[in-house]
């Protein structure tokens, strides 16, 4: 069956034909590609067409597909049994490996998805502070837990409204949504609600509105306000963790703001290396509020699954090798600069930003700083570019509010082919 036939068949038995909405190509139109297999920097669809993959399963595949060390670790784990529901040594090894690179955390708990990690961190923050209100930012995605599917209310005195049917107003009545990078809104929100705020959750580099960094003054003020008011600062590094660098985005902020650290952090994507695995962690005093030690309940049948931990551990050990991120970041910079050059040569305004193996580009003349800026970029041009590239065998994320990912498997030749395709797409 070809892509179109499979899509029709899928839509009969799976809502929208997909198991996660953005895969359906609704933003860009057209038929989703059904992937048969992947290898290195490439994915192959059921029609045998090859694509240079800049999605990397939305972030996890930082080593490229089918990395030999990862495959071997997974095969070995499978040979020992799929799931035990009892503790294993490998869970300790993975926890130790994560903690080794993230000094803000003393303990970590493993879960199976970023959504679960965010939901659990939220409960822990509320349990540890004894407070109910939470703050998030417009354009940040923290998975699909009810309390986090919220858009801004009509003002800072009011809390948010659900962005999904099935989420009662009462469930989001404690969620305040602020504009990303707005120091003024932060100040106002803490002045109005400070003593009630359990935590502020943020994507330090927002990858769910393409690629937008928190400015240093904004991050510094956020840290100050959380500390002054006794609220926990929660870094959602599900995307940026072990992707923008070994220590995640927090290492970048700590590098510029002495002593900087979030109180809780959540990870996913890369730490599972392509298997369902995520984590949340922080200081021992906060983490020990969790069951079985403390009153905050949290659990999971498949948490710390032996195959997933083998996959994650093998991945982290590869990317911790000296020079890995320097080489990855260099590749990413070359791709981004090349795309911008190709656009400029065609007289098209494009800007972009990148860090480690993550990048974003916008059809705009200035880098967006907040969600509204991202949504004001040229979406029609993005959609044309997306399809022109896909036709030429280059697979970018099928929506302009998604980041791009480069892997260690992308060769010079892949990058050159990508940039040739971009030049041809802009000319056509
Ligand atoms: C992907 C993502 C999540 C959700 O993770 P899932 O594993 O899809 O549940 C949460 N936060 C951020 C920043 C993400 O990019």
DSSP string, 251-272: HHHHHHSTT---SEEEE-GGGG
- The distance of Cα 388 from the centroid of its chain, to the nearest Å, equals 26
Q: Is 236 in the pocket of ligand 1 (CB under 6 A)?
A: yes
Check residue 2 and give its pLDDT.
97
Element (H, E) at 358: strand 358-362
Q: Tell me, yes or no, if 236 is annotated catalytic.
A: yes
Q: Does the C-beta of 318 come closer than 6 Å to ligand 1?
A: no
Specify burial of residue 254 (Cβ count, 10 A radius: 0-12, 13-18, 19+): middle
What does the mean pLDDT of the chain come to?
Answer: 97
The pLDDT score that the predictor gives to residue 276 is 98
pLDDT of residue 154: 75
Pocket test for ligand 1, best of 60, 114, 122 (most atoms within 8 A of CB): 114
Helix/strand number for the chain, H first, E second: 14, 18
pLDDT of residue 155: 76
Instruction: From the candidates 42, 53, 180, 236, give the one annotated as an active-site residue.
Output: 236
Catalytic option among 51, 54, 141, 401: 141
How big is the CA angle at 76 (ends 79 and 319), to the nearest 5 degrees?
A: 150
pLDDT at residue 18, rounded to an integer: 97
Determine the distance separating the centroid of ligand 1 and the alpha carbon of 142, expressed in angstroms. Answer: 6
pLDDT of res. 84: 98
Sheet of 404-405: strands edge to edge? 351-355, 358-362, 404-405
pTM: 0.97
Strand partners, 197: 133
At 159 the pLDDT is 84
343's CB contacts (< 8 A; 6+ apart) are 349, 350, 363, 422, 426
Q: Residue 393's CB: how many other CB atoms inside 10 A? A: 15
**Measured in angstroms, how far is the CA atom of residue 116 from the centroid of ligand 1?**
9
Q: Tell me how far apart the alpha carbons of residues 202 and 323 are, in angstroms, rounded to a whole number.
A: 29
Question: For this structure, is 141 an active site residue?
Answer: yes
**Residue 200 host element (H or E):** strand 197-202
Phi/psi of residue 221, nearest 5 degrees = -65, -40
Q: What is the pLDDT of residues 120-177, one digit of tens each?
A: 999 999 999 999 999 999 999 999 999 999 988 777 777 889 999 999 999 999 999 9
In the residue annotation, 136 being an active-site residue is answered as no
List the chain residues with pLDDT less than 50: none
Q: Where are the beta strands (DSSP E) in 119-163?
A: 133-137, 150-151, 161-162
Do 141 and 208 touch, CB atoms closer than 8 A? yes
DSSP annotation of 275 reads B
């Amino acid at each position: 069956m070809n892509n179109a036939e499979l899509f029709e068949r899928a839509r009969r038995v799976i809502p929208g034909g997909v198991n996660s909405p953005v895969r359906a190509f609704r933003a860009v139109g057209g038929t989703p590609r059904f992937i048969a297999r992947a290898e290195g920097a490439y994915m192959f669809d059921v029609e045998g067409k090859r694509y240079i993959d800049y999605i990397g399963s939305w972030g996890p595949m930082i080593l490229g597909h089918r990395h030999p060390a990862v495959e071997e670790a997974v095969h070995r784990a499978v040979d020992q049994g799929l799931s035990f529901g009892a503790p294993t040594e490998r869970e300790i090894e993975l926890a130790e490996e994560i903690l080794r690179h993230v000094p803000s955390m003393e303990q970590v708990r493993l879960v199976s998805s970023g959504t679960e990690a965010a939901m659990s961190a939220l409960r822990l923050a509320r349990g540890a502070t004894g407070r109910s209100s939470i703050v998030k930012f417009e354009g940040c995605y923290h998975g699909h837990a009810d309390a986090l599917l919220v858009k801004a209310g009509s003002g800072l005195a009011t809390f948010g409204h659900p962005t999904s049917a099935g989420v009662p107003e009462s469930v989001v009545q404690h969620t305040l949504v602020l504009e990303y990078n707005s120091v003024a809104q932060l100040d106002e929100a803490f002045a109005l609600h400070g003593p009630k705020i359990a935590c502020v959750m943020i994507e330090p580099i927002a990858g769910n509105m393409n690629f937008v960094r928190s400015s240093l003054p904004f991050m510094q003020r956020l840290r100050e306000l959380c500390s002054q008011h006794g609220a926990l600062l929660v870094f959602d590094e599900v995307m940026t963790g072990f992707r923008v660098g070994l220590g995640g985005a927090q290492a970048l902020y700590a590098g510029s703001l002495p002593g900087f650290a979030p109180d809780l952090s959540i990870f996913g994507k890369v730490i599972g290396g392509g298997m369902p695995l995520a984590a949340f962690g922080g200081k021992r005093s906060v983490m020990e509020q969790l069951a079985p030690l403390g009153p905050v309940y949290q659990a999971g049948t498949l948490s710390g699954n032996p195959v997933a931990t083998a996959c994650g551990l093998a991945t982290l050990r590869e990317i911790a090798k000296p020079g890995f991120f320097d080489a990855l970041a260099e590749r990413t910079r070359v791709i981004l600069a090349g795309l911008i050059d190709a656009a400029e040569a065609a007289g098209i305004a494009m800007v972009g930003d990148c860090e480690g193996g993550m990048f974003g580009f916008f059809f705009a003349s200035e880098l967006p700083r907040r969600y509204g800026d991202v949504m004001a970029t040229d979406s029609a041009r993005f959609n044309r570019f997306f399809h022109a590239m896909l036709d030429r065998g280059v697979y970018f994320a099928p929506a302009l509010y998604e980041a791009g990912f480069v892997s260690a498997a992308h060769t010079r030749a892949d990058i050159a082919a990508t940039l040739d395709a971009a030049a041809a797409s802009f000319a056509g």
